[in-house]
Structure formats: C-alpha cells, structure tokens
C-alpha cells in the first residue's frame, strides 16, 4: 500500500497530511508564526525536520507531494520578497524530505492538485473556502475548529490544502501504477 505525505509549506503555518488509499490517516499543522521561538527560516525548518523524522519513524511513506510555491506576481498578493522567502523555505523543507525519506518530493501546483482530487472551483469562487467545504463534505472524521466569530481557526486552510495535495498525489500514484 502506498502512503503519501502531502505538504502545504508556508513560513507561517505548514499543513501536513498522510494519505493511504485515498483515506486520510493523519492531518495536522506546524505553526511557526512565533517570531521569538522561530526568528529565522532555520529555526522553522528545525521544527519541521524534527516532526518529519517522527513521521518517518511512525509511517512507511512511499511518496511525497508538495504544493508548488507561487511562481508569479498577482496584484494585491505577495511581494517579491515574500515569494522569494517562501520559495527558499519550500526548497529547504523539500530538501529535508529528500534527506529524511530518501526520495524526491513531487511538486504539484495547487490548481492541478484540486482538479485531480476532485475539488470543483468555478470562476469567482474562493478556492480556500471550496477546499474546506470539500474536506467537510467528504471526510467527516476531520475536525475543524472555529474562532468565536465563526471563522476557521488559523491553520485550517493549510491543513485542508495538504489533504488535497496528498489526495491528488495518491490518485497520481494510482494512475501511474495502472499504466
């Protein structure tokens, strides 16, 4: 059986999910927003490395899929500095995965992952909200916590994105095995 590690890497909150046969085995987040505890990318990467080592110990991961970092600017979104930092961190964590698990992580664009996983998003819809609804509709075992104002708690969207990345990876691995 194939066990897929799906990662949505970010410098603030990284989502991680373990998928086996299109079933969610485990899903969680790593919160690295505390600037005192994680002042640089290196401390953030250390936290993820420690937890990746735990995953390796507890799961026989066969494939790793990582959401590809943004490659271009969009008006009103991330600056060049932010995109550069995110790409650097994505590279650091991807390298850690390669060293820890002994395999190259596969990069997959968020839009491609959503399509492969079966998340339908129409023009004008907010992708993060549609991904959350997809997880709620299809995986009732996943618990979503909300703030007192009724919004998903920080990290929820990252966790859901990692689930979709992992599910897409699982389907791609399955398709590759049948061809």
Whole-number Å distance between alpha carbons of 174 and 21:
9
* Phi and psi based region of residue 21 (left: phi greater than 0; alpha: psi -120 to 50; beta: remaining): left
3-178 maps to CATH 3.30.420.10: yes
- Name the band, by pLDDT with cuts 50, 70 and 90, for residue 77: low
Whole-number Å distance between alpha carbons of 106 and 60:
17
Inter-CA distances, 7 with 67, 68, 109, 163, Å: 6, 10, 12, 8
> Mean pLDDT across the chain, nearest whole number?
91
163 pLDDT exceeds 60?
yes
Report yes or no: 9 and 85 within 8 Å, Cβ to Cβ.
no
Domain boundaries, the chain: 3-178
**Bridge partners of 53?**
none
| Mean per-residue pLDDT, 86-102 | 95
pLDDT tens digit sequence for 99-128: 999 999 999 999 999 999 999 999 999 999
Can you give the pLDDT at residue 22? Answer: 87
DSSP 40: S
């Amino acid at each position: 059986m194939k066990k897929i590690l799906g990662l949505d890497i970010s410098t603030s909150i990284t989502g991680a999910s373990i998928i086996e046969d299109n079933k969610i085995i485990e899903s969680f987040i790593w919160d690295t927003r505390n600037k005192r505890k994680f002042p640089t990318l290196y401390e953030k990467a250390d936290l993820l490395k420690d937890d990746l080592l735990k995953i390796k110990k507890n799961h026989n991961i066969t494939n790793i899929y990582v959401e590809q970092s943004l490659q271009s600017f969009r008006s009103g979104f991330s600056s060049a500095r932010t995109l550069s930092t995110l790409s650097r961190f994505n590279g650091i964590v991807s390298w850690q995965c390669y060293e820890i698990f002994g395999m190259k992580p596969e990069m997959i664009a968020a839009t491609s992952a959503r399509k492969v996983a079966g998340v339908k998003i129409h023009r004008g819809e907010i992708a993060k909200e549609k991904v959350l609804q997809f997880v709620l509709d299809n995986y009732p075992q996943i618990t979503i916590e909300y703030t007192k104002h009724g919004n998903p708690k920080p990290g929820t969207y990252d966790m859901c994105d990692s689930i979709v990345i992992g599910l897409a990876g699982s389907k791609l691995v399955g398709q590759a095995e049948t061809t």
